[in-house]
Structure 1
Amino acid sequence: MRSKQEYIEKAESELYKTYNRFPVVFDHGDGVRLYDTDGVEYLDFGAGIAVMGLGYNDPEFNEALKAQVDKLLHTSNLFYNVPAVEAGELILKASGMDKVFFTNSGTEAVEGALKIARRYAYNKDSSHDHEIIAMKHSFHGRSFGALSVTGNDHYQEPFKPLLPGIKFADFNDLDSVKELVNDKTCAIIMETVQGEGGIYPAGEEFLKGVRALCDDHDMLLILDEIQCGMGRTGEMFAWQKYGVKPDVMTVAKALGNGVPVGAFLAAGKAGAAMSPGDHGTTYGGNPFVTAAACKVLELFEKRKIVDHVKEMGEYLTKKLNFLADRYPVITGRRGTGLIQGLEFSVPVASIVNQALIEQKLVLISAGANVIRFVPPLVIEKEHVDEMVKKLEEILKHHS
């Protein structure tokens, strides 16, 4: 077996960098713990960027995957398969939407959602000049369509020109949205809770205002729940807290608990917009990934994960507020449920790195000045207490 350093050097020479990686090579996980190739244990409060909702090495989830491997991995979407039908039934029941299309990732789910918006508008007037309103400081993915509605010039600049007809409003500022609406606008897309942009939940008045605006102008409301959905806010989907139903929703991350699967869902008029052949995928919705999604959805209901998140979210909020009150370097706390952020007066990169290397605590950032807390949804109070203790050891030297 190679040493940790040998793995790192091999990766540096052969793999494209998605991010600048931390100097750790993880080997396996169990519950809310990760273990590196040297057997060192880490407490995980990043969950693979909000993916591992059920934690690591869940026996029931693992058995479902093993059973499907022995049955059928792939057939293509030219044929029906049982797990896709069952997963579709479960996610539509949980969301109250009408139609679902399974994808390979969250980015692809956004691409499908944008196509629904354009198709819906085209069905009305057969024109090609429709516009979409997105939000500044948003993040929807890195493919061309998703990148085009991502409100961060840092991500966009090297790849311009992107899709035409995209305008950006200020998140939680309804007037700024209204100013951009015209007779060409076909949709508004936004995260219900901005994740990469710094953990900003939508205000209730804002979200309801955007919904009303879409209704008044026959536009589609697209809500991106890729990070904040699947129970993370204390509701199955964050928009359910507000009683504001989207026309189109995107979901991924925790849907597969580590297996790459996403989906876009549509309701009502948006559900009927697309025709066969308008969108397709070879791998999307195959028996293996939908067996994973099916088991995740089953276990969420069986174990009352959403209720657990409500309880743990309140406890995490209390503890993060304690840290914010105690350490002047922390300037605020935001978030809901188990998607929370602490904002700092200094860049957080060194704090996150120290937590990993010195305290064996996995944290991730959201922008330059925010530490993001998106642990596995199965954490207990003892894990929150342990995290706080470890983080305090670092904060003592930053205040």
Structure 2
Amino acid sequence: MSYLMSNYAPLAVTFVKGEGCMLTSTQGEQYLDALSGVGVVGLGHCHPDITAAIQLQAGELLHTSNWYHIQHQETLAKELCMAANMDKAFFGNSGAEANEAAIKMTRLHAYSNNINHPIILTANQSFHGRTMATLSATGNPKVQAGFSPLISEFIHVDFDDVDAIKAHTDNASVVAVMLEPIQGESGVIVPADDYLNQVQKICQANNWLLILDEVQTGIGRTGKLFAHQYNGITPDILTLAKGLGNGVPISACLAKGKAAELLTVGTHGSTFGGNPLVSKTALAVLDVIKKDNILDNVNTISAYLLAGLQALSSDKIVEIRIKGLMIAIELNQDCTELLNAALKKHLLINITGRSIRLLPPLILNQNEADIIIITLDELLGAL
């Protein structure tokens, strides 16, 4: 009997060791992790610099409290704000917590403008977390099923549809728009190049806050440190998690301008958020990304993978969607069975609807990319 609750359905494998893009099971077999722990271990498993930072900090100080100054946290806040052109940071433990902080900030923004029933526009098929507020913000009825009544202060509009957002400019209760620059969980949905730019203009014209959820797209995943940098814009609020800690739980909610002044003493907090261990680890992640030119590798391998995937002869492929190392291969039929089929071939992938989703480590090399391409070719051929 398992003493774990039944909210997961784990595949029939247990991993005990990781190195780079590879995981080793209890049976001693190696698997190529083309998911990087669902977009978390961007620098690969057990990266020596990250491991050293964790070990060093663990031997010095794990935790105090945010009742005191935390040097590494303050340094990390500066590094992230300078990199993202933001002003201030709040640290939590997960993407959902970062998004919760962003939602609470919009409430404070609303009340400072005498809006008593604030509404946030979010996108259909979005994913923002599993707490009650972030679940309500999420535009996916399947994820929300069974958790009614949801928080009602969200209106879902179609993604990549500027007119759908413009349609609410006469609603005096709207205070913010919350979007993923690229929708990840729904299958790597990449909007038009100027979509975010147009949304920002609408927000600025209506005194709305623009919140960009980069929990999955941030920290190099798309080939830039933050996906919104492709648009040359700066949001009011930016949320990060996943790759920021390379496996250590940490998230950040960054804010700029008037939004950076919304959280005041006592309005929000986190027991573990930004403690010495996770902050030091995140600083090591940012350092490796810079010194090892990780973003260059992401863009090089992204182009290599795209060429290889486009060369596949399968007539089952409808579309390949890719930005950096966020990849979805949409098929013309259900492909749920490929999850276990890939596992048998020692490749870890994800299936979203009719799409194969890949989030390989940002350190992926050409030999490992070839393994992914060849294995997918075999899987599609047997489908």
TM-score tier after normalising by the smaller chain length: over 0.9
Distance of 2:11 and 2:113 partners within structure 1: 50
SS at match of 2:375: helix
Distance of 1:129 and 1:390 partners within structure 2: 52
> C-alpha displacement at 1:139, in angstroms?
0.4
* Native 8 Å contact 1:226 1:253 kept in 2: yes
What is the aligned partner in structure 1 of residue 135 from structure 2?
Answer: 147
> Are positions 1:239 and 2:219 aligned together?
no
Distance of 1:143 and 1:196 partners within structure 2: 16
TM-score, normalised to structure 1, is: 0.94
Q: Deviations over 1:54-94 (max 9, x none)?
A: 10111111011001001111111000112111211211121
Report the residue type matching 1:206 in the other structure: Y
Superposed, which structure 2 residues align to 1:40-189 within 5 Å? Answer: 40-125=29-114, 127-181=115-169, 182-189=171-178
* Native 8 Å contact 1:224 1:251 kept in 2: yes
What is the aligned partner in structure 1 of residue 358 from structure 2?
Answer: 373
Report the residue type matching 1:211 in the other structure: Q
Distance of 1:57 and 1:166 partners within structure 2: 40
* Native 8 Å contact 2:84 2:234 kept in 1: no
Superposed, which structure 2 residues align to 1:200-239 within 5 Å? Answer: 200-239=189-228
> Are positions 1:338 and 2:338 aligned together?
no
> C-alpha displacement at 1:285, in angstroms?
0.8
Q: CA RMSD in A?
A: 1.1
Moved more, 101-110 or 194-203: 194-203
Moved more, 279-288 or 158-167: 158-167
> C-alpha displacement at 1:238, in angstroms?
0.2
Distance of 1:83 and 1:258 partners within structure 2: 18
* Native 8 Å contact 1:172 1:206 kept in 2: yes
> Are positions 1:35 and 2:8 aligned together?
no
Distance of 2:249 and 2:354 partners within structure 1: 29
> C-alpha displacement at 1:158, in angstroms?
0.7
Distance of 2:12 and 2:222 partners within structure 1: 31
> Are positions 1:387 and 2:375 aligned together?
no
Distance of 2:254 and 2:5 partners within structure 1: 32
What is the aligned partner in structure 2 of residue 195 from structure 1?
Answer: 184
Distance of 1:335 and 1:19 partners within structure 2: 28
SS at match of 2:311: helix
Distance of 2:188 and 2:287 partners within structure 1: 28
TM-score, normalised to structure 2, is: 0.98
Q: Which runs of 5+ in 1 are unaligned?
A: 1-9
Q: How many equivalent pairs are there?
A: 382
Counterpart of 2:349 (choices 352, 363, 368) is: 363
Q: Which runs of 5+ in 2 are unaligned?
A: none
Report the residue type matching 2:340 in the other structure: N
Superposed, which structure 2 residues align to 1:190-339 within 5 Å? Answer: 190-323=179-312, 326-339=313-326
Distance of 1:316 and 1:53 partners within structure 2: 17
What is the aligned partner in structure 2 of residue 347 from structure 1?
Answer: 334
SS at match of 1:48: helix
Q: Deviations over 1:24-61 (max 9, x none)?
A: 11111011100100110011100000001110111111
Superposed, which structure 2 residues align to 1:5-44 within 5 Å? Answer: 13-44=2-33
State the identity %: 38
Report the residue type matching 1:360 in the other structure: H
SS at match of 1:194: coil
> C-alpha displacement at 1:381, in angstroms?
1.1
Q: Deviations over 1:335-379 (max 9, x none)?
A: 21100100011222211210111x1011112x2211111100000
SS at match of 2:10: coil
